[in-house]
Structure 1
Amino acid sequence: MRDRLESDLGFYYAFGVFIIAIFVVGLAAFALLNPGGVGTIELVGLSGGFFVFMLVYFISISVQRLEDGDRS
């Protein structure tokens, strides 16, 4: 695990997964603590926006890999 985090790309991937985990835990905590629940429209908007953000994040990592010549 440590050797994966020593590279920049490994760190970026681990950070992305960590952000996704925080988002999921935050949504779950909000759903449990909010007596009214999470509205469908709000949930779809928030999740859709987060999905687009993470998609751009991981695409930018892939572009950086291609620029560096690392095709593995």
Structure 2
Amino acid sequence: MELLDQRIPPPRNRVANGLACITRIGLACLNVNPISRPTMRQVFLELIPRRPPLAGAYLGGANCGHGPP
């Protein structure tokens, strides 16, 4: 199954890895069997290390992707 537009150049390794992770999580969330879907906590814990810090933004105590709250 092709998920990326073939008309644009392929992403660099870091971006490609991020896209693969997000795609894998998204497909897992679409599982027909609800018990097989990841919980929001599991999704959150998968995404934390991939989220870049938001420079200068007020985050109200959020960790900016640097670990669980």
TM-score, scaled to structure 2: 0.45
Higher relative contact order (CA closer than 8 Å, sequence separation 6+): 1
Q: Which has the higher helix share?
A: 1
